[in-house]
Amino acid sequence: MKLKNKFLLAILSFSMILSACGGGNNGGNNGGNKEGSNNEQSVAQEEEGKKDGVLDINIASEPETIDPQLNTAADGAIMLNHLFESLIRWDDDGNGNAVLKPGMAESWEVSEDGLTWTFKLRDAKWSDGKPVTAEDFVYAWNRLVDPKTGADYEYMLDMVKGYEEKKLDISAPDEKTFVVNLNVKCPYFEEICAFPAVMPVRKDIIEAHKTWTQDPSTLISNGPFKLEKWDHNSVLSMVKNEEYYDADSVKAEKLAFHLQDDQNAIYASYRSGDLDFVNSVPQEEVKKLLDSKELKVKPYVGTYFVCFNTEKEPFNDPKVRKAFSLAIDRNFIVNQVTGQGQQAATGYVPAGVYDAKGADGDDFRTTGGDYYSIKDEDYDKNVEEAKKLMEEAGFKDGEGFPQIEYLYNTDENHKAIAEALQNMWQEKLGVQVSLQNQDWNVFLKERKEGNYNIARHGWIADYNDPMSFIDMWLTGGGNNDAQYSNPEFDKFVKAAKATSDQNERMENMHKAEDILIGEDNVVAPLYFYTNSYMIKPNIKGMYYTPLGYFFFKSAEGF
């Protein structure tokens, strides 16, 4: 067996992305960046924030949950990364970039065939002073895949033996040893071990308290912070966890996550000094703030897309779905609507995702090619093809096409995109599209249950592999909001999961994407994300990963 180095060899780059989930609810600001540019310089004309010992943050509105196994959203993942810690953690490299380092696991060994992983836990405690044990991981991992839990991310551990039977081949030989046996060698397993869904939780707490995440007395955590108070739809406050094994590295004493989605109100609070960090600004302020370098832009490997309900007429017809996709002027959206460096999407899996078949820096997107042209001169041709498809589907010039609804969550950026799409579809296809916005939690529920015709969606890489984007569309998958099912697609995804041969894996995933986008047009990708934010110039020590996680534990100056 090979002994892994105590420090995981992970350098921040586009080839190292572990991310949270369902795209977050902070709209078109989910942005990208030029590292080391002037974007990182302090802005002289910007006033400093209040120095009251509290870091006031706005990431998004009320999170759907802060249960590690149940969360699927980027905002919830950011909070979870401060409350809990998994076997491996994201830590600062000293330059504001996050790299993977040992977390609850002090070290680990991997067998020669790559199938048996043995983690040695460090001496660590929960926030109530009880020791963190290997059994806590056994419980959490089995809880994730247990159908009774209803976790959308239950498939995250499908490489572990026993997954199909929902009884994982994992064990705790003693309190400090956690053993995992895999079905197949997994090239991104280290990243899985840092993912929020596999963070440890306490069996005694969860079984005794159904609403354990709601109360500071029952939300027992093992990370750098613990829950102080949760005023729903207002503020979620955390304080430093003195029981944390690495408490000396935690500079921030208190974090206050302000739960808002009104961008004008958020921006006003930032300008008044009531907020120190914001992840969303009004669209009309973007250009000015970019020019002044107050708005900073970071890499973010993910895709913003339109999701069709494939079970509901008229979007049960792939021709209609393709027509709606071709009628989208993606360049107009990224240049005139969002305007923060987003890249018009030519496929579903975004730029920056590893491909074993790539050479000279090629990634999965470049090796996979384009599924449609985004050249300005080809847009009219796309529209003509879209009209022809609509006619073939029985809706020439939009005649007989039912009025449909586009669903999005409350956010000015999503609204602007929705209005642009509405205009394109109505003008180019002759159809009637109404718009409906909902609060984040309601929106997630309605989209998941299929109560929509078309809905906005976004997905950020969970780990650096195309599978993070591909396997969510498996028949019956917890994150398959399109209600999509195609046995041929499932076949290629499962074949990719069943082999350790990297070239074979990639070939099967390319074939799966060919079906998903090239044939079935299940989603209409709009652009590849970037992630923008504003932070008061007196705040130092924040760090970030392209998965969209901001870390505040080392922040100081407030």
List every span in the chain annotated with CATH 3.40.190.10.
Answer: 2-259+531-551
- Give me the chain's average pLDDT, please: 91
Taking only the tens place, the pLDDT of each residue in 105-149 is: 999 999 999 999 999 999 999 999 999 999 999 999 999 999 999
Q: What is the mean pLDDT of residues 531-545?
A: 96
Q: Is the peptide bond before 402 cis (omega within 30 degrees of 0)?
A: no
pLDDT surpassing 60 at residue 34? no
Asked whether residue 11 carries a pLDDT value surpassing 90, the answer given is no
d(CA 111, CA 462): 25
Q: Which fold has domain 2-259+531-551?
A: D-Maltodextrin-Binding Protein; domain 2 (3.40.190)
User: With 50 as the cut, is the pLDDT of residue 16 above it?
Assistant: no
What pLDDT digit, counting tens, does each position of 387-410 carry? 999 999 999 999 999 999 999 998
Helix 318-326 crosses helix 379-392 at what angle (to 10 degrees)?
160
> pLDDT tens for residues 85-99?
999 999 999 889 999
Higher local confidence (pLDDT), 47 or 520: 520
Q: Which residues pair with 455 in a beta bridge?
A: 307, 407
Q: How confident is the model at residue 24 (pLDDT cuts 50, 70, 90)?
A: very low
* Helices within 71-152 (DSSP H only): 74-83, 134-145
Report pLDDT digits (tens) over 228-279. 999 999 999 999 999 999 999 999 999 999 999 899 999 999 999 999 999 9
Hey, what CATH class is 302-528 in? Answer: alpha beta
What does the pLDDT read at residue 153?
Answer: 96
Mean pLDDT of the 325-343 span? 95
- DSSP-assigned letters across all residues of 319-380: HHHHHHHHT--HHHIIIIII-SS-EE-SSSSPTT---TT--TT--HHHHH--SS---GGGHH
**Is residue 9's pLDDT more than 80?**
no
pLDDT of residue 347 exceeding 90, the answer is yes
Strands 454-460 and 404-409: parallel
Residues of the chain with CATH 3.10.105.10: 302-528
User: Which tens digits make up the pLDDT trace of 276-308?
Assistant: 999 989 988 999 999 999 999 998 989 999 999
What is the rounded distance in angstroms from the CA atom of residue 450 to the CA atom of residue 434? 17
Provide the pLDDT confidence category of residue 437 given band limits of 50, 70 and 90. very high
What's this model's pTM, rounded to 2 decimal places?
0.86
Which pLDDT value is given to residue 228? 98
